């Protein structure tokens, strides 16, 4: 805290007893004496103890703590759904618990035991953090801020903001001089821990951008998006002033903003701890050179897990450019059209039910074999019916087992989805051709054994080897050999 070390930003928060305010460890305010502070693992715990967030360092902008491996799978899945708004507006704790296959009592006990707070307290903290950012950084009408941040009514929004921050939303808005003008889009800031290898992740997304759905242009990533009933577009670019990404979101997506933010954090791997990951992986001579060259490398995720799964199926046994073309044809034939201010963006990726309902001949018409078309239909049916949940609620090994039970999906595709679609940091597709070659021509089983020392960051080790392969000038391989 004294050093204001940015590596610890978001990993703990400091409550100052004399002011009743809690801060990030990088806060520029004068450092208080040790006897006047309390330390908290999360912002929500500081708020539960009665502290108000600092108006200088703005704790709601701190990067997350990547809870996937720190807590049990059910708690991690609950946190993921809460981040996407599961307990906002009309969502109930019992509905969330049922979706996770547990009782409400069990979920409350698990979250209190592992996080020190209830699901409702965590949800309230998430809502208020987003609300404050929308109040301070945008000119969105306060009524719309209330619903965009997950409150069921303006009255509850006003009361919660006043209780937490000590002033009404309108007073917070008047204190802002440079908020973004009202219009057809909102601008948000998503922080991360430096370093961040933006060129690497942007290059990955550019090579795989689905025509009509995604595009990379002028150093930014743009795409169409569907969150529940909300449809729109978004753009992401680095913030030149701080370690953060600037996100522009169509106003039509305001009602699904919590889910949009959560999905983007996973897509761009913003909650990673690069210093810890690099220090761990650099111990292996196989990775030392790559880690030194790219200490801020992230594992690119997916905006939508089903989209990632469908893309993985389409990419079986074909090159990356060919897989991109096939995904574009699929979106063009089965995806809903959408109007955007960007000529390159005009389609939404088709939903699982739409693909499940498509005929085999219709799917084969995009240029894939009949067996792969049936695999796509089976995947769409499983997700649409809820027999396959792509939300991180089950153990990765069980997810791999359920995926490989579907016709035409093998271990590589399943592990690839665990890595890209669900953001599992320890996923490792051992049968990947590039990984095996980079590790000295090992077999899949030998590659898995060699990567044991990378745990729990095997996905990052794989990303370093893939990126090194790509930067060496290798031509794009099949999706089954170089994701």
Q: What pLDDT is stored for residue 183 in this prediction? A: 62
Query: What CATH number has the domain bearing residue 245?
Result: 1.10.340.30
Domain that holds residue 435: 274-299+425-483
Domain match, 414 and 465 both = no
**414: confidence class by pLDDT, cuts 50, 70, 90:** confident
For residue 430, pLDDT over 80 is answered with: yes
Domain match, 279 and 163 both = no
User: CB neighbours of 454 closer than 8 A, spacing ≥ 6?
Assistant: 280, 281, 284, 287, 428, 460, 461
Domain match, 240 and 307 both = yes
CA distance 67 to 77: 10
CA distance 138 to 205: 28
- pLDDT digit string, tens, across residues 343-396: 999 999 999 999 999 988 899 899 999 999 999 999 999 999 988 888 766 667
Q: Is 27 a catalytic residue?
A: no
For residue 479, pLDDT over 50 is answered with: no
Q: Is residue 438 part of a domain?
A: yes
Domain match, 351 and 467 both = no
Domain match, 193 and 243 both = yes
Q: What pLDDT is stored for residue 48 in this prediction? A: 87
Catalytic residue among 271, 431, 432, 468: 432
**Pairing relationship of beta strands 230-238 and 220-227 according to DSSP bridges:** antiparallel
CA distance 142 to 472: 51
Catalytic residue among 23, 27, 54, 57: 23
Q: What pLDDT is stored for residue 278 in this prediction? A: 94
Can you read off the two tokens belonging to residue 106? Answer: 């069990």
Angle (CA) 97-418-264 rounded to 5° is 75
Query: What CATH number has the domain bearing residue 139?
Result: 1.10.10.60
Classified as helix, coil or strand, 13 is strand
Domain match, 234 and 305 both = yes
Which single residue is written with the structure tokens 């790509």? 470
For residue 303, pLDDT over 60 is answered with: yes
Q: Is residue 66 part of a domain?
A: no
- pLDDT digit string, tens, across residues 13-60: 999 999 999 999 989 888 999 999 999 988 888 988 999 889 888 888
- pLDDT digit string, tens, across residues 435-451: 999 999 999 889 989 99
Q: Is 23 a catalytic residue?
A: yes
DSSP 184: S
Q: What pLDDT is stored for residue 11 in this prediction? A: 82
CB 98, CB 91: distance < 8 Å? no
Q: Is residue 78 part of a domain?
A: yes
**263: confidence class by pLDDT, cuts 50, 70, 90:** very high
Query: What CATH number has the domain bearing residue 24?
Result: 3.40.10.10
Query: What CATH number has the domain bearing residue 475?
Result: 1.10.1670.40
Partnered with residue 185 across adjacent β-strands are 250
Which is more confidently placed, 235 or 121?
Answer: 235
CB 437, CB 472: distance < 8 Å? no
Domain match, 399 and 313 both = yes
- pLDDT digit string, tens, across residues 317-343: 888 999 999 999 999 999 999 999 999
Domain match, 236 and 286 both = no
CA distance 171 to 418: 45
Domain match, 169 and 209 both = no
Provide mean pLDDT across the span 123-136. Answer: 90
Domain match, 227 and 101 both = no
Q: What pLDDT is stored for residue 176 in this prediction? A: 54
CB 74, CB 393: distance < 8 Å? yes
Give DSSP secondary structure letters for 345-402. B-BPPPPHHHHHHS-HHHHHTTT--HHHHHHHHHHHHHHHHTSS--SS-S-HHHHHHH
Q: What pLDDT is stored for residue 179 in this prediction? A: 45
**68: confidence class by pLDDT, cuts 50, 70, 90:** very low
Q: Is residue 180 part of a domain?
A: no
Q: What percent of the chain clears pLDDT 90, i.e. is strictly above it?
A: 54
- pLDDT digit string, tens, across residues 84-100: 888 887 778 998 888 88
Q: What pLDDT is stored for residue 402 in this prediction? A: 87
The residue among 109, 142, 174 that closes a domain is: 174
């Amino acid at each position: 805290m004294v050093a204001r070390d940015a590596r610890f930003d978001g990993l703990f928060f400091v409550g100052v007893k004399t002011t009743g305010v809690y801060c990030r460890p990088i806060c520029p305010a004068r450092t208080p004496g040790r006897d006047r502070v309390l330390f908290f693992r999360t912002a929500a715990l500081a708020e539960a103890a009665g502290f108000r967030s600092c108006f200088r360092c703005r704790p709601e902008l701190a990067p997350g703590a990547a809870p996937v491996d720190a807590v049990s799978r059910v708690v991690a899945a609950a946190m993921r759904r809460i981040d996407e708004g599961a307990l906002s507006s009309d969502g109930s704790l019992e509905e969330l618990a049922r979706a996770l296959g547990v009782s409400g009592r069990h979920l409350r006990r698990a979250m209190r035991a592992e996080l020190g707070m209830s699901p409702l307290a965590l949800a309230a903290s998430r809502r208020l953090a987003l609300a404050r950012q929308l109040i301070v950084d945008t000119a969105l009408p306060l009524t719309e801020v209330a619903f965009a941040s997950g409150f069921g009514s303006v009255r509850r929004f006003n009361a919660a903001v006043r209780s937490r921050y000590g002033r009404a939303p309108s007073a917070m808005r008047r204190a802002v001089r440079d908020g973004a003008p009202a219009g057809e889009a909102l601008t948000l800031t998503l922080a991360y821990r430096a370093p961040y290898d933006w060129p690497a992740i942007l290059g990955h997304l550019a090579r795989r951008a689905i025509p009509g759905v995604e595009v990379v242009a002028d150093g930014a990533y743009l795409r169409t998006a569907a969150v529940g009933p909300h449809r729109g577009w978004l753009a992401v670019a680095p913030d030149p002033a701080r370690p953060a990404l600037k996100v522009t979101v169509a106003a039509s997506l305001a009602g699904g903003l919590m889910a949009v933010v959560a999905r983007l954090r996973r897509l761009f791997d913003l909650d990673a701890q690069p210093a810890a990951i690099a220090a761990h992986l650099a111990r292996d001579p196989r990775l030392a050179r790559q880690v030194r060259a790219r200490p801020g490398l992230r594992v690119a995720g997916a905006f939508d897990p089903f989209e990632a799964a469908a893309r993985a199926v389409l990419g079986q046994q074909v090159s990356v450019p060919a897989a991109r073309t096939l995904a574009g044809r699929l979106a063009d034939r089965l995806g809903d059209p959408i109007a955007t201010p960007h000529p390159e963006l005009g389609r939404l990726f088709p939903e699982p039910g739409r693909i499940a309902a498509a005929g085999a001949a219709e799917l084969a018409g995009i240029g894939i074999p009949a067996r792969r078309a049936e695999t796509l239909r089976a995947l769409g049916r499983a997700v649409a019916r809820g027999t396959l949940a792509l939300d991180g609620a089950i153990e990765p090994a069980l997810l791999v087992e359920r995926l490989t039970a579907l016709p035409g999906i093998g271990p590589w595709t399943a592990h690839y989805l665990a890595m890209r679609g669900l953001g599992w940091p320890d996923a490792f597709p051992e049968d990947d051709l590039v990984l095996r070659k980079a590790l000295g021509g090992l077999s899949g089983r030998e590659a898995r054994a060699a990567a044991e020392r990378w745990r729990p960051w095997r996905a990052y080790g794989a990303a370093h080897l893939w990126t090194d392969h790509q930067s060496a000038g290798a031509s794009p391989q099949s999706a089954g050999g170089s994701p």
